[in-house]
Amino acid sequence: MLVLIMMISALLSIGSCRALVMTNVDNPEIKIITDTMVTEGDTGTLKCHVTSKTRPYIQWFKKVDAALYSPPTAFDLNGQLFTVLKSGRMEEGPANVYSSPLVLESVTEADEGVYACLASNRFGFSQQFTNLYITSVLSTTPTP
């Protein structure tokens, strides 16, 4: 946790007065995102829950094959190539918790893979990765 200590010194016209104001300011923190299994053709939802004292910006990404994508449509994130996905709505809950679900309708095998949620605010960022597995209507095991 990043703690930012701000000191404010004020000089008043009558004498000298110093005030010390300490503020805890945090990077956003993302709750662990569990892997999700969805049956082909159904709607899949990945949930990213972020705790932040300041309103974060939340963005979803999907890992892509380097042979199929190249900059500027993809970028390196922790040594893996990802592409930016359309952002969904962000919901603000109690206790500085924000949520940004990624809804994938009528999923196919092409939707299976590694996804990343990245949350940032003016003090820093945090990221979490999760897997989406697609099962066949006739099977209950994920595709290889």
Residue ranges covered by each domain of the chain: 27-135
Name the least confident of 38-52, 78-92, 102-116: 78-92
Name the least confident of 30-34, 94-98, 140-144: 140-144
pLDDT grade for 61, boundaries at 50, 70 and 90: very high
- The pLDDT score that the predictor gives to residue 58 is 96
Q: Give the β-pairing of 113-121 and 29-30.
A: unpaired
Nearest to 131 by CA among 68, 37, 50, 30: 37
CATH class of 27-135: mainly beta
Please name the residue that has the structure tokens 């110093």.
18
pLDDT grade for 74, boundaries at 50, 70 and 90: confident
